[in-house]
Structure 1
Amino acid sequence: MVTRTRFDDSDCPVARSVDAIGDWWSLLIVRDAFDGSRRFGEFQRSLGVAKNILTARLRTLVAGGVLASVPASDGSAYREYVLTPKGEALFPVIVALRQWGERNFFTPGEEHSELVDRRHGQPLRALEVLSADGRPLHPGETTVHKVSHERPGHGEA
């Protein structure tokens, strides 16, 4: 069996995030959770994923604090999966992937799903990366800096 490379101790936030999410099935599960899926069967019907794969991905998302397994809201013996605050914080990631996909993988006029504001029924404005002063930023206008924090007892006195 192939051992999966782990990034949970990487100093890169992107690597740790990818490690926590795991794969495309996990992102699609999170997408479906935002769309209202809560039960195992709902996720399986929507995704068409094998039960063993879905079970493993749900288990990983719960262990990582992205989803919580809670008693069914209807009082039945079933369990439901709900987004935690950590999971809800993935909303901009899902929106960014959706908007990127709309721009890059559909021809003009081709049918596709669209995320709209419930209150006004309008499509969302395109996400932008903004500087602290509100300017739109492009990749060449950013750089990565390492953040280091002195551990107690390891710094100068």
Structure 2
Amino acid sequence: MAEDQDFAHDTLYRALNQPLALFFELSLELCKGVGGLNRGYLILDDVLIQRYRSGKLGLKKARDTSTGAWVFGLSLVVLGWTDGKRRIPLAFLPYFGEESKLDLALLDWAEEQGFQPEGVLFDAWYAARQVLEWLHAHGWSFVTRLRSNCVLDGVQLRRHGGPVGSRRGG
């Protein structure tokens, strides 16, 4: 989500120094101002804010998915909105490496705020059964990539070769 954007990492870093409720409220009002509740797409993604020598601050090492390296930093799960031209970070939650439901918490938050997006965009990392079932139950369309080891219509995805059907597995 931060690629080709001059503001993303710095904006999130500054927002961490503010009360989160204020950041979420301002982002939501900005999104409402451009008519984003009933149009556009929600983006579910993660961002790593790398902080050198942050081991002293209690930050853990995390894998930077862009380089594959292990670095000290703060990993965030981010929910953003886009209409294809503008991107607005709406909400984020810190990820500390344990099994979590942060993606579902952010989707629940978006629903509570009244979002009815045209779709939800996310990568294979968030294509877990619980997320896909949540989206289906709420009638929200989505675009994602699935890992090749997933089972689709009883056939492992890398061997499927046919039209996409219903996904099984986790």
Question: What TM-score, normalized by structure 1, do the two folds share?
Answer: 0.26
Larger helix proportion of the pair:
1
Which structure shows the bigger proportion of residues in strand conformation?
2
Name the larger-Rg structure: 1
Give the structure, 1 or 2, with the largest relative contact order (CA under 8 Å, sep 6 or more): 2
Q: Report the TM-score, using the length of structure 2 for normalisation.
A: 0.25
